[in-house]
């Protein structure tokens, strides 16, 4: 089903047109992105170590965050090593602000969940992402967000008994 059939008002991007390619990132951009991924991995590893790494047979709170941090470090180093020859990355453009807005909205979600539960902030986040960042219509975003939150409620609260803060 196409975006038009779902009621999308999203304007076509450069990469949406067949035959046109988005501008490619250069060596400096690839180096900076690799360095950023590596830095996030190092900071996350330090935090995981403060929680205690444990072992795979006797995990502690920092075991899996430590594993993921290690993977981030490896991927970041590989990106930097291939910076000169990597052709698949797109150039960072003025549209990159949406990534920062999306990350900031996740931080806001994390701050609101302990206060009012996960249902309302998650619903608002999904509607914001679809309407604000994805330029979808409310008539699609609202019911879809409600269904997604309900499914996550059933999976995590009812099915897995995860102790998430909740309103209902």
DSSP state letters, 71-101: HHHHHHHHHHHTTTT---PBPP-GGGHHHHH
Examine the pLDDT at 147 and tell me if it is beyond 70: yes
Examine the pLDDT at 30 and tell me if it is beyond 90: no
CB 121 within 8 A of CB 112: yes
Is this model's pTM higher than 0.95 or not? no
CB 139 within 8 A of CB 107: no
Query: Tens digit of pLDDT for each residue in 97-116?
Result: 888 898 999 999 989 888 88
Query: Tens digit of pLDDT for each residue in 41-54?
Result: 999 999 999 999 88
Query: Tens digit of pLDDT for each residue in 148-163?
Result: 999 999 998 888 888 8
């Amino acid at each position: 089903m196409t975006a038009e059939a779902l009621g999308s008002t999203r304007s076509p991007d450069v990469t949406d047109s067949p035959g046109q390619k988005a501008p490619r990132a250069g060596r400096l951009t690839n180096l900076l992105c690799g360095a950023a991924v590596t830095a996030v991995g190092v900071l996350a590893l330090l935090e995981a170590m403060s929680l205690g790494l444990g072992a795979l047979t006797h995990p502690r709170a920092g075991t899996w965050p430590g594993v993921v941090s290690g993977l981030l470090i490896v991927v970041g180093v590989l990106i930097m090593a291939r910076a000169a020859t990597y052709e698949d990355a797109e150039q960072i453009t003025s549209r990159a602000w949406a990534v920062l807005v999306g990350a900031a909205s996740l931080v806001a979600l994390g701050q609101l969940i302990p206060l009012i539960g996960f249902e309302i902030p998650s619903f608002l986040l999904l509607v914001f992402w679809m309407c604000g960042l994805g330029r979808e219509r409310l008539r699609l975003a609202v019911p879809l967000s409600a269904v997604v939150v309900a499914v996550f409620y059933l999976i995590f609260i009812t099915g897995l008994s995860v102790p998430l803060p909740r309103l209902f």
